Amino acid sequence: MRNVVRGLVVWALCSTQLGCGQEDPSPSHVEPAIEAVASSSAPLSTNDVGVIAPEGGCPAFAPTVWIHMDNEDSRQSSYVSDWVGATQVNGSGNTTFTFCRVDGNKFKALSTSASPLSNFALLKLGASCPAGAAEFSRYFDNEDRDNMNSNSNSANIWPNIQGRDTTLTFCLFTGATTPASSLPILEFDYGVFATPYFRFGKGAGVIFTDDEDTRNANAYTVAYDFQWAAKAIVTEGGNTTLYTARAAYVYCGDNTCNAEEGERSCPSDCTVCGNGICGPRETASSCADDCGWCGDGVCSNSEDSRTCGSDCARCGDFACNGGETPQSCPLDCRNCNDLTSSPDGLIPTCPGPNG
């Protein structure tokens, strides 16, 4: 029990960035056997996953899962940059990941085939990955001396493992026969692991962990067919780079006319003047080209002086229409007694008694 309490104290120190990972006269890491005593109040579901928590933390309906890694102490170079959500690297160069537990079945592949533009990964927190996702794992060789690894307890982070070192397991989404048009709306801001080229995000970031220097034992477990996709998101080697993306998702009102939307289904995003459709937000005055009619007082692109003289009449178009008269526009509305020649060189004549 002392070790469990000690783990909680370590976490408190880590969260205030008071130097997790600095050398301590007494061992402070929590061994897996001790961790297993703790239990979690978070509901466990078969396909649960962890999304990267936003800076403000997880909402109550998405329980928090955190994993603190004691990185290399000597000449430490761990860092985070740009959007990484609530992920932190403290002054001692140690990394705290924070995830929100959600139903993994909400997630689908975003393309029909694997691509750096659409592949993404989530932390695995259930017995199996959601349908269509492939599992891979990264083993982090953490600091050897006076290791201060800690987490929100083993039942909560399972199937991820942490003792003196850490194994994170991910669910990788690549291609699917029927892909989703975007990441799902979860009612809170969140992130995923994805390449810097991911086109379904609205902000990218980097988490770099400086792993143990002495006899480094970093390892990677991934099926051959998914190697390139996984390692483009979570790298292999003596240190580890994890690429992140802030989720962007499609919804009516996001100011982008997406593939699943149209002017009638989502006028707030897809109203375009000039496309021939009079959308719900358009009027004859705001878009005469789509919503105008002959007689509305606006000469639209589909009208001219001959097809709609009431809207498009102009003096000099050789058509006497609209409000033109022989007095206001004699060029178009000639008096039949006018001896001035017409454009064809003939002298206008008055109609006879029979017209």
Q: Determine whether 327 is exposed, middle or buried from the number of CB atoms within 10 Å of its CB (0-12, 13-18, 19+).
A: exposed
Across the range 288-313, mean pLDDT stands at: 75
Higher pLDDT, 278 or 56: 56
- Helix, strand, coil fractions of the chain, as percent rounded to 5: 15, 20, 65
How far CA 311 is from CA of 49, 285, 305, in Å, comes to: 62, 13, 7
| CA distance linking residue 151 with residue 125, whole number of Å | 14
Distance linking the first and last C-alpha atoms of the chain? 113
Is the pLDDT score of 34 beyond 60? no
Nearest to 181 by CA among 245, 258, 104: 258
Higher pLDDT, 202 or 130: 130
Amino acid identity, residue 260?
E
φ and ψ at residue 138, rounded to 5 degrees: -125, 125
What is the C-alpha separation between 65 and 248, in angstroms, rounded? 22
pLDDT exceeds 60 at position 222: yes
Mean pLDDT within 293-312: 75
Check residues 299 and 216 and name the one with the higher pLDDT. 216
Q: How many CB atoms lie within 10 A of CB 297?
A: 10
User: Average pLDDT for residues 159-173, to the nearest whole number?
Assistant: 96
Please report the pLDDT score of residue 288 as a whole number.
78
CA distance 278 to 274: 9
| Cβ atoms of residues 151 and 67 within 8 Å | yes
Q: Is the dihedral of CA 39, 41, 46, 52 positive or negative?
A: negative
Tell me the mean pLDDT in the region 122-134.
96
pLDDT at 10 over 70: no
Confidence of residue 20 (pLDDT cuts 50, 70, 90): very low
Average pLDDT over residues 108-123: 95
Give the pLDDT band of residue 337 (cuts 50, 70, 90): low
Task: Give how far Cα 182 sits from Cα of 27, 260, 342, Å.
Answer: 46, 10, 65
Torsion, Cα of 181, 183, 187, 193 (10° steps): -170
Nearest to 23, CA basis, from 140, 141, 142, 147: 147
User: 172: which DSSP letter?
Assistant: E
pLDDT band at 350 (very low <50, low <70, confident <90, very high): low
pLDDT tier for residue 322 given thresholds of 50, 70 and 90: low
Q: What is the DSSP letter of 258?
A: -
150-159 pLDDT, tens digit per residue, is: 999 877 999 9
Length of the chain: 355
Backbone dihedral region of 217: left (phi > 0), alpha (psi from -120 to 50 degrees) or beta? alpha
If one counts every other C-beta atom within 10 angstroms of the C-beta of residue 303, the result is 20
Model pLDDT, residue 336: 66
User: How many Å separate Cα 221 from the centre of its chain?
Assistant: 27
How far, in Å, CA of 229 to CA of 117, rounded? 11
If one compares 261 and 96, the residue with the highest pLDDT of the two is: 96
Query: In this predicted model, what pLDDT tens digit does every residue of 231-262 receive, in sequence order?
Result: 999 999 999 999 999 998 767 776 777 656 67
The pLDDT value given to residue 325: 80
DSSP 8-state secondary structure symbol assigned to residue 106: G
β-strand partners of 82: 205
CA distance 3 to 32: 11
Handedness of CA 245, 247, 253, 258 (dihedral sign): positive
* CA atoms of 93 and 136, how far apart (whole Å): 26
From the list 52, 138, 49, the residue with the least C-alpha distance to 87 is: 52
Percent of the chain with pLDDT over 70: 78
